[in-house]
Amino acid sequence: MIDWSGVFPATTTQFKKDESLDLEATQRVIDGLIKDGVHGIIALGTVGENCSLSAKEKRSVLKAAVEVVGGRVPLLSGVAEFTPKAAAAYASDAETIGADGLMVLPAMVYQAQPSEIISHFKTVAAATNLPIMIYNNPVSYKIDIKIETMTELAKIENLVAVKESTEDTRRIIDLHNAFGDRFTIFSGVDDIALESLMLGAQGWVSGLTNAFPRESVAIYNLAKAGRYEEALEIYRWFMPLLDLDTIPTLVQCIKLVEEIMGRGSEVVRAPRMMLEGEERAYVQAVTQAAVDARPTLPADLTKAA
């Protein structure tokens, strides 16, 4: 049973310099996050470069993640496939491998219509007993799962949560007003995370948590305790980094920050390329500024293993 609450980083997939998988390094990244107090792990999301991996590689990464998590926190796997058939096959395999749940995107072959979105999720949900988080990210993937479509998806029992990444906090209110507590809502955008928690989101799927997990957990814990002024102080410090989560090169940015912080490697797989020039210098400068001004966290609300 998944406790659908807290900070669930979308973890990076680590590569060697030749862009081959580095499963040991991927496990070190995940282990470090758990030891720093995150509440769950999501492997093979956007930040995990799901769509740049072969079918075999995806399953290898998930097996490595299951092994290192070892039941300490819930482990979800991203499902980002071009067809319902491929997504259903992966969902079934993920259950066999030992994932606790799934985070599923619509079929990515083209900008699907509502009926096609519904059919996709029905197909995937029927292929597994695992609980599923619907991943709604129209900014990156050009498909918006609107309230009318969610009304049909609400009829599918194992669709239980929503990662809302529209960049519009009003959608959190709309989901609550339409469905009450039918779905658990997670914020999927780093630089509106605190606002989303204040509006009733129960969790945060985060990218920059990969580099600053303790600060992310502190923001969440403070918000849930109603200590918004303290949370806001950390959030303001964090914002220049969190803004990196909302641009096309977010994966490269997050992995570069992760490397600077000594938590992973910046190597990405093509078609992505590592940052260069002004953008690279900016990310380095913002990260150094964050390190120089790193806040002292309230000891009573930080969680570390």
Q: Is 294 exposed, middle or buried (0-12, 13-18, 19+ CB in 10 A)?
A: middle
Instruction: Report how far residue 6's alpha carbon sits from residue 220's, in angstroms, rounded to the nearest whole number.
Output: 7
163/222 Cα distance (integer angstroms): 21
Residue length, the chain?
Answer: 305
User: What one-character DSSP code corresponds to residue 88?
Assistant: H
* Residue 6 CA to its chain's centroid (Å): 12
Q: Which residues are catalytic?
A: 135, 163
SS3 284: helix
Torsion, Cα 14 15 17 18, to 10 degrees, reads: 180
Which helix (H) or strand (E) segment is 185 a member of?
Answer: strand 184-187
- Report CA Rg, the chain: 18
Q: Residue 61 contacts by C-beta under 8 Å, 6 or more apart in sequence?
A: 13, 21, 23, 26, 43, 44, 48, 53
Relative to beta strand 101-104, strand 75-79 is: parallel
Tokens 């989101």 found at = 201
